[in-house]
Amino acid sequence: MEKLSCKDLSFRYNTNSADTLKNISFSVSGSGVLLVVGKTGSGKSTLLRLMKREISPVGELKGSINILGKAQSELSPLQSACAVAYVSQNPDTQTVTHKVSSELSFALENIGTKPSQILSRVGEMATYFGIEDIYSKPIEQLSGGEKQLCCLCAAAVLSPQILILDEPAAQLDPISSGKLFSVLRRLNSELGTAIIIAEHDPSEIFDMCDSILALDDGKAVFFGSRESFVKAAVNDPVLHGYLPAPTRAALKLSKTVFTVKAAKTLLEDTFGVTDAQPSLSAGKPRTDAALKAESVYYRYDRNSEDIISCLDLTVYSGEVFAAVGSNGSGKTTMLKILGGIIRPWQGKVTVSGRNVRSYKNSALYSGCVAVMPQDPYDLFICQTVGEELDKSNKDNELFKRLCSELSLGPLLDKHPYDLSGGEVQKCALAKLLLTDPKILLLDEPSKGLDPQAKAVLGRMLRKLASEGRAVCIATHDIEFAAEYADRCGLFFNGCIHSAAPSGEFFSYNRFYTTAASRIARSVFPDAVTVSELEKCISGGERR
C-alpha cells in the first residue's frame, strides 16, 4: 500500500510570482525510505513541509497529496497530527520546554492523553531508544547530537506512520549523526515507519534508502529506485555529486555497491592487496610560524576541570591547518584562546612573534587576527549586511575588490537573517577580510553547507592561504579537512595530538579517517579523498 503519494504537485508562495515547486510526483510505499536530494533553495524544505499539514507554507497548491489512502485535506486534525511526524535541521529551534522529560511528553499532552498513559508511553519509548540516561536532564546540558535525538523521540512519541526529516544531521558530527541514523534505521526496520529524509550529504543514509527524489530548481530531475539513480548518475555530473564514496569508487569499475565493506572487497579482488605503507611526505622544517601556543591550559573557573590542557600548536603562514575532532571536545574554546578572545590561565599564545597579551586594545584585531564564530550570524548585529561591513571598512579599494570577488553586490542591502547559510558565510568572511588579517581562525566553517557551497568555501580558503595568510579551522567534517587542509591534527582530551600533513594524517589514521581512505587502505594506501581514489582506480594495474 502506498503510505504517501504526490501527483503533479505545484506550489507557489503568495509572495513569489514564480512557482517554487513544479509538477512533482512521487510516492512512498509501506515502509519505504525516500531520500530527497538537491541544492539549497531547490525547494526541498518547501516540499517536506507541504507533506505535514499543520506547518505547510501559505500559498497556492496544485495537484494532490494522499496520505494513508486519503487526500491530505480529508484527514481529521488528530489523524494528521499523529500520522505524520516532522523533524527539522536545528535542534535548538525545535525544543520547546526546559527538560527532556517534558519535551518527550509535550506531544502527548497536546492531544489530551491521560497523564498516567503519557508516562507509560514516554517511558516505553525512552527505554526502546536507550535514552534513559538523558531523560531527566535539562535540555541545555545535552550535546547537539543528544538534542537532535531528543527531538526525534519527541516527534516519534505519537507513533507516526510517516516520519519526515529535513536535514536532521546537518549540524551534527559524524559520530552523533551515526547514532541518529541508527535510531532511524530501527524505526524503519523494526516498526515499519516510512521515512522521507532530505540530506546534503546522503552518504550515511544511502545504503538504507529505497528510492531517491532529486530536485533542481523546483523540478524533479529524478525519481526512482536507488539502483536506477546510480545508473542515471553515470552521465549526470550533478547526480554524481550525491553518490557516497564507495559507490563512486565502484562505479569506476562499472559495479554498483553501497557500503565500505563491499567496495573494499571489490577493490581487493580487482587490484590485489598491497603491503605498502602510506608514503611519508618529506616535511621540511619551517620557521615562519604565524601562530604559536605553548603549554596552554584553560578552565571556566577555578574549581572546574581543564577543558584545554597542555596544548602545543604551531600554525605557519601560507597553510590551511585543520583541527579535527568531535563536537563538544573543546575545539571552539581552543580557537577562542588562539584568537585572544578568552585568556588561558596558564601558558602563552604568540601571534606574529608577539605575546597576545602585549597587544593593546583592538590592535590584535586590525590586520593581525580574525576569528569566525561557529554561528557566522553572530558577527552581524546591524540591520543590513552593508552597514555591518562599513563598520570594519577602512580601505575602499579592498572593500570594492572583496565585493566583486565574493559577488556580494546583491546581498549588501539585505537583513543578515534573510541570507542563506552559504551567503552569510561569504559575508562573514568578507567582514573578517576587510581587516586584512594575517591569521584567520574559522570555527566549523563547513557546518550546514551543501556540497557546492562547501567547494566554494574550500577554494576560498586555499586562495587565502596562497596569499600567505595562515588559516586555521576547527571542524568535525573530515572529508572537508582531507580535501582542503595542508596539515591536520586530532583534537582530543584537551590538546592536539599528532599534527601531520593531511595526506599522511588520514592515511595513517585507522578509524577516524575519510571513507575513501578506509576503502582504499589495503590497495592504494595513499588515496585519501574520493577524487584521488578515482584517479588511482583509473590508473591502477588490474590483477
Partner 1 sequence: MKARIVSLCIFLLCIPAVCVAGVLFFKERAVSFAGTGIVLLMLAGYFYVYEKRNSQAWELVIVALMSAMSVLGRIVFAFLPSLKPCSAIIILTAVYFGRETGFMVGAFTALVSNFYFGQGGWTPFQMLAWGLTGYFAGMLGKWLARNRVLLLVYSAAIGVFFSLLMDLYTCLWMDGKVIFSRYLVMISSALWVTVSYAVSNVIFTGIFMQPFGRVFRRLCIKYGIGTYHPQEKPSERTELH
Partner 2 sequence: MCYLKTFDPTVPMMYFACVMSICVFTSNPYLQACSLAGGIMLLIFVKGRRSVRLLIGCALIMAVMGATNPLFVHRGLTELFFVGDSPYTLEALLYGLSLGCSIASLLIWFSVFNAVISQDDILAVFGKRLPKTALVISMILGFIPKLRRKYTELLHAQYGSGVSRKPSLKRTAAVFTACLSAQSERVIDISMSMKARGYGLKSRTFAHRRRFRKKDAAAIAVPLALCIACFVYIGSGKLDYWYYPRLSPGGFEPAAVMCYLLLCILPVFFIVKEKFLWRNCPAKT
Residues that bind partner 1 (CB under 8 A): 13-16, 45-46, 49, 57-59, 383, 415
| Euclidean distance between CA atoms 275 and 280, whole angstroms | 15
Among 13, 106, 129, 512, binds partner 2 (CB under 8 A): 106
What is the 3 state secondary structure string of 115-138? HHHHHHHHHHHHHHHCCHHHHCCE
Paired strand residues for 60: 12
**What is the contact mask toward partner 2 in residues 122 to 151, using x (rule: CB under 8 A)?**
x---------------xxx----------x
- The grid cell for 129 is 531508544
- Helix or strand (DSSP H, E) at 22: strand 21-29
Q: Does 114 bind partner 2 (CB under 8 A)?
A: yes
Residue placing its CB nearer to partner 2 in the complex, 377 or 512: 377
Contact 43, 240 (CB under 8 A): no
How many of the other CB atoms lie within 10 Å of CB of 173? 23
DSSP conformation class of 542:
P
Residue 517: left (phi > 0), alpha (psi -120 to 50), or beta?
A: alpha
**What is the contact mask toward partner 2 in residues 403 to 442, using x (rule: CB under 8 A)?**
--------------x-------------------------
Q: Does 345 bind partner 2 (CB under 8 A)?
A: no
Q: Does 11 bind partner 2 (CB under 8 A)?
A: no
| Euclidean distance between CA atoms 47 and 57, whole angstroms | 9
Q: Which of 56, 49, 54 is nearest to 107 (CA)?
A: 54
Q: Cβ neighbours of residue 285 under 8 Å, at least 6 residues apart?
A: none
Q: Cβ neighbours of residue 448 under 8 Å, at least 6 residues apart?
A: 89, 167, 170, 171, 200, 421
Q: Does 180 bind partner 2 (CB under 8 A)?
A: no
Q: Which span sits near partner 2 by CB under 8 A: 109-117, 181-189, 312-320, 345-353?
A: 109-117
CB of 514 to partner 2, least distance (A): 30
Residue 15 interacting entry, from partner 2, partner 1, none, C-beta within 5 to 8 Å by type: partner 1
Residue placing its CB nearer to partner 2 in the complex, 369 or 533: 369
Q: Does 194 bind partner 2 (CB under 8 A)?
A: no
Residue 232 interacting entry, from partner 2, partner 1, none, C-beta within 5 to 8 Å by type: none
- Helix or strand (DSSP H, E) at 369: strand 369-372
Residues 80-99 that bind partner 2 (CB under 8 A): 81-82, 85-86, 88, 90, 92-99
Residue placing its CB nearer to partner 2 in the complex, 448 or 525: 448
CB of 259 to partner 1, least distance (A): 37
Phi, psi of 236 (to 5 degrees): -120, 110
The site for partner 2, by CB under 8 A, has a size of 64
Q: Cβ neighbours of residue 165 under 8 Å, at least 6 residues apart?
A: 86, 87, 88, 152, 184, 195, 196, 197, 198
Residue 90 interacting entry, from partner 2, partner 1, none, C-beta within 5 to 8 Å by type: partner 2
Residue 58 interacting entry, from partner 1, partner 2, none, C-beta within 5 to 8 Å by type: partner 1
- Considering only the C-alpha atoms of the chain, give the largest distance between any 2 of them, rounded to a whole number of Å: 72
Contacting residues toward partner 2, per CB under 8 A:
52, 54-55, 77-78, 81-82, 85-86, 88, 90, 92-99, 101-102, 105-116, 118-119, 122, 138-140, 151, 154-155, 158, 336, 339, 341-342, 361-362, 364-366, 370-371, 373-375, 377-379, 381, 391-392, 417
